Structure 1
C-alpha cells in the first residue's frame, strides 16, 4: 500500500501560493519556512510544466554552490523528490531514463534535471554567460536581497518569456519567486522597495512579510534561545522578527554608494571546475577570487583587541581594491586569525609579500611576551613563507582627517585613487561602513562614533573595528597627497583648529 506524506503549509506559505502572481516577493525572517516554500514552488513548476526550463538565480556561483543548492536539495526531499532518483545535479539524466527538455542545454554542469524533463538552470549574476540563451517559463531567487536588480533584469527577467499551448492553464506559467530575510545593508533596499510596487499593482505583484512566529513547527523555546544568543538586538529584530533596521542618516562614510563602490568578481572557471563537489575547507581560498593580482604584493591592515580583525587590499592601477576581510573574537586570538584564516586563504597567492599596517597599539607588547603584536604577526607570516614590511609610522591621523580624505575618495577625486570593495568577501565590513556614525568632535570637526565598541551586546563585526582596519592604509598612503592638493580640506582644518 502506497504511503502518503502530509505536509502542512504555514499561513504565509499558503497565502503566498493561493495568491500567486507573476512577480512574487517574500520578505520572510529565519525560521519562517522560506526553504520549504521555495522547494514547494520548485515542485509546482516541475509538476505543472514537464520538459520546461526554469531559472534558479543567486548573486554569485559561490553562493549557489555553498548555500542555495544544499537548502534546495534538503527542501525537495521534504516533498519526496530525491537527488539521483527524481533529479540529478550538474549532469544530464538521459542515461537514467529521464525525459529531455524542449531545449536541452549545451552544457549540463549548472543544471538540475528532473525525471519528467523539466530543468532548472543555476544562474549566477556575477557571470552574465550563465543565463545566456535561457528561454524560461519561470523561476526562483533565494537570498534575493543580495541580488543586483540591474543584472537580475538583464540576465534573468528578460529570459522569462516562454510559453506553450499545453501550459496555458498552468498557474505557475511565467511566475517569479524571490525570497529573502530583510536586508541589513543599502544594497538590498531595492527588495523592500518592491512593496510599494505591489501596493500600486496588486494584479502583477505579490509582496509578503512574515516572521518565524507563523511557523508552528518551531520549538517553543527557540525564540528565547535566539534572543539570548543573538549578537545584537538589531540582528535579532532583522533575522528573526523581520523588522527592517533603521537607516543611518549621519554616516561617517557619507559618500559610500553601493552602485559605485561595491563589486563582485569571482573566478567562475575555478568554481565551475569544482562544481557541485564544492567543499568549503578544501576550495575556499583566493583561487575563487578573480580580482586578486596574484603576482603583486598584498596590503594587510589589522585592528587589535579582544576583537581582532584584518582587511586585505591591493593597489591596482588607479583603484584601491578591498579584497577581503577577516575577524575573530574572544576566546579566539590574534594568532588564530592569521594562522586559521588569513594564511590558508592566501596560500595560493604567488607574490608572497605583505605591506603590513595597523593601529599604533600593534607596537605594544603583551604581558607574557617580549614581542609586539606586529612582531607576533610578522613571525607567523614569515614562518609561512611571506616577506613582511611594516608600514605604520608616525602619528595617527585624526578622525576628521580620515573623514575628509575618505569621503573625497568615495565621491571621486581625479588626483586620488577610487575605492572598490569586493561585496562577496566583505559582508561584515560593508555593514560596519554603512552603520558607522559621524558625530561632532569635542576638539572640532567630525569624529567616528565608537560607542558600539563598548557595547557587549552589539556584534563587534558590525562595530567600527573593521572600518578602522579599512581606514589605516588609505590614510597612511594618501593623506599627505590629499592635504597638499585640497584647499577645501586645509581651510576646514584651519576653521576647526
Structure 2
C-alpha cells in the first residue's frame, strides 16, 4: 500500500483501495475517477498474488480493449509500473495481449497460446483474463482467483452468476490463499439506466447491514475491555464495501468549471443519471408495462474473428447492411422523431433513433425538421449496402406545417423526396388512420412481453436509443380505462425528447406490421394479455 499512499488520489478512491472487503462496489458518475481506481486496484495487488489469475469482465471485448486496458495501464503507471518492451522499457513488469517473455513466471493455470491475446500478464505470473459477455471464446477454461467488472450495470447478472462466480476456484496451496482479497469480486459502474441493471445496488444493503452488525460487535467487546473491539475489527476484515462517487469527490483533479460544463452540455435526465448517480425506477401505471430491459434491450454487439496473423478483429453485427431498413416517423411542430428499425429472423430491432426540434441556429432554421431528419438518415446510413427503406408513421403525416415542412409538400412526401433524391428506393407504409386505443395498448405490450410465439422479439439498442428508452419507461396510461396515453408530458416536459412523441412512432410501425396478431389476444380485467385458445 505504500505506493498507493504516495499517489495523489481522492478520498473515496483511497477508501476503496484500502478496504479489505472481498465484495466491493464503486458506483461513480462521469469524472469520479472510477476507471482510474480499477487500474489502481490492479496495481496495488498484483505483487501480492504471484501466479494468480483474475478476470477483468465487460459487456463487449471492444469495451475491454478500448476502455479497461487503458485504465489499467494508467493506474499501473501512476504507481510506477510500466509495460514491458525489450528495447524501450526492459524494466517493464507486464505485457498486454501477447505472450510474456519465457523467463517470466507463469500462472498456476497457464493460458494457451490463443488465449494470451485476451490477457494482461505480469512478471511474477499474476494474470488478468479479459472476459467479455459477448465473446464466448474469452470464457474458455476459466479457473480464477478474483473478479473485476467494468460498467457492471450493463452486464446481465446471469453472466456473473453462471459464468464468473462458479469459476472462482484457484489453488488451496497458493501463498495468497488466505489473503483478504482472495476470491474478491469488485465492480465499477455508472448508475444503471435500467431496472434490471439495478442489481449493482445489492451490495449497498448488505454493506449497511454489515456496518450495523460490526458496530454492535465492536461496542459489545469494548464493554468487556478497552481494545478488544478494535482488536476484533483488525482480525476480521469486512465482507462488503459500497460507495457512490461523483465528479465533486474528484474536483481537485478536474477543471473548476467541469460540473458546470457537463450541466450545460447534457440533457437534465442524462446529467442526473450519468453524473449525479440518480436511479431510474419503474412507474406503477406505466403504459408500456410489458417492457422488460433484460428482454427488450441489447447493446451494440460485435462478431469476432482472427486475421491471417492470428490477431483478433471485430465487426458490428447490430443490423444487416444487405437487407432493407424500416423507419417510423412522428410529426409535431415542436419535435419530429424518426425510429430506424429492421426485422430479421425472429427479432424486430429498433437499431437507432433521432429527433429534431426548432432551433435558433440560423443554418438549421433554413431546413425544416423533416429535412434535418432526412439529412441525418442519409448521412448515418451512407454506407448501407441495400438502399431500400420502408416508411411507416403518423397518420398526421399527410398534412403541412411551416415549421415541420417548408415546402408545399405534405410531411411524408417531403421526407420521402429527400431519400429518393439521395438514391434510396422507398416503399410507403404510413398509417391512414389512428389505431383503436385498446388494441394499440394490447398489441405493443403483447410484442414487448414476447409471449406470442408467432411474433418476433422486440429488441432496442440501448446505446443509440437513450432518449427513446427514457420516454418508453416514463409514458403513463390514463386511469379512465380508455387505454390512452397520458400526454401531459408533451406540454409540460422541460426536455420535449423525453415526452411521449417517440413512443407514438414506435406504436405506428408495430401496429402496421403486426396488428393482425391482436385478433389472437384478449385483454383481461387484471391487465394481463392472454392468448385465446
- Give TM-score scaled by structure 1 length: 0.81
Residues 392 and 293 of structure 1, relative CA distance in 2, 3 Å threshold: same
Q: Deviations over 1:1-58 (max 9, x none)?
A: xx99942332222222232322211222332221221111121232322443221111
Give runs of aligned pairs for residues 129-140 of structure 1, distance below 5 A.
Answer: 129-140=137-148
RMSD: 3.7
- How far apart are the structure 2 equivalents of 1:105 and 1:262? 34
Farther-moved stretch of structure 1 (120-129 vs 75-84): 75-84
Q: Deviations over 1:134-191 (max 9, x none)?
A: 2222131111111100111222222222135222464432222101122132121111
For the Cα contact (< 8 Å) 1:326–1:337, is it kept in 2? no
Residue 10 of structure 1 corresponds to which residue in structure 2?
A: 10
- How far apart are the structure 2 equivalents of 1:27 and 1:4? 21
Matched, 1:191 2:200: yes
Residue 128 of structure 2 corresponds to which residue in structure 1?
A: 120
- How far apart are the structure 2 equivalents of 1:342 and 1:60? 28
For the Cα contact (< 8 Å) 2:57–2:130, is it kept in 1? yes
Residues 329 and 77 of structure 1, relative CA distance in 2, 3 Å threshold: farther
For the Cα contact (< 8 Å) 1:359–1:472, is it kept in 2? yes
For the Cα contact (< 8 Å) 1:62–1:271, is it kept in 2? no
1:288 to partner: Cα distance: 0.7
Residue 495 of structure 1 corresponds to which residue in structure 2?
A: none
Matched, 1:312 2:351: no
1:130 to partner: Cα distance: 1.4
Matched, 1:392 2:426: no
When the two structures are aligned, how many residues end up with a matched partner?
A: 473
For the Cα contact (< 8 Å) 2:330–2:337, is it kept in 1? yes
- How far apart are the structure 1 equivalents of 2:465 and 2:38? 24
Give runs of aligned pairs for residues 74-473 of structure 1, distance below 5 A.
Answer: 74-83=74-83, 85=89, 86=92, 87-94=94-101, 99-102=105-108, 103-107=110-114, 108-163=116-171, 164-168=173-177, 170-200=179-209, 203-217=238-252, 218-232=254-268, 234-263=269-298, 266-269=301-304, 287-289=315-317, 292-293=319-320, 295-304=322-331, 307-317=335-345, 319-330=346-357, 334-335=370-371, 337-340=373-376, 344-345=380-381, 347-349=383-385, 351-365=386-400, 368-382=406-420, 385-412=423-450, 414=452, 417-428=455-466, 429-440=468-479, 445-455=482-492, 457-458=494-495, 460=497, 462-473=498-509
- Give TM-score scaled by structure 2 length: 0.76
Residue 28 of structure 1 corresponds to which residue in structure 2?
A: 28
For the Cα contact (< 8 Å) 2:335–2:356, is it kept in 1? yes
- How far apart are the structure 1 equivalents of 2:422 and 2:265? 36
Partner of 1:312: helix, strand, or coil?
Answer: strand
For the Cα contact (< 8 Å) 1:307–1:327, is it kept in 2? no
1:445 to partner: Cα distance: 0.5
Farther-moved stretch of structure 1 (257-266 vs 398-407): 257-266
- How far apart are the structure 2 equivalents of 1:357 and 1:271? 40
Residues 118 and 173 of structure 1, relative CA distance in 2, 3 Å threshold: same
Residues 235 and 273 of structure 1, relative CA distance in 2, 3 Å threshold: farther
Partner of 1:406: helix, strand, or coil?
Answer: helix
The answer for unaligned runs of 5 or more in structure 1 is 493-497
Q: Deviations over 1:178-212 (max 9, x none)?
A: 01122132121111133233345564332223333
For the Cα contact (< 8 Å) 1:48–1:172, is it kept in 2? no
- How far apart are the structure 1 equivalents of 2:311 and 2:248? 34
For the Cα contact (< 8 Å) 2:305–2:312, is it kept in 1? no
- How far apart are the structure 1 equivalents of 2:509 and 2:263? 37
Residues 116 and 247 of structure 1, relative CA distance in 2, 3 Å threshold: same
Partner of 1:438: helix, strand, or coil?
Answer: coil
- How far apart are the structure 1 equivalents of 2:267 and 2:309? 34
Which has the higher Rg, Structure 1 or Structure 2?
2
For the Cα contact (< 8 Å) 2:392–2:431, is it kept in 1? no
Residues 304 and 33 of structure 1, relative CA distance in 2, 3 Å threshold: same
1:310 to partner: Cα distance: 3.0
1:414 to partner: Cα distance: 3.7
Farther-moved stretch of structure 1 (355-364 vs 128-137): 355-364
The answer for unaligned runs of 5 or more in structure 2 is 212-237, 528-533
Residues 266 and 122 of structure 1, relative CA distance in 2, 3 Å threshold: same
For the Cα contact (< 8 Å) 2:35–2:68, is it kept in 1? no
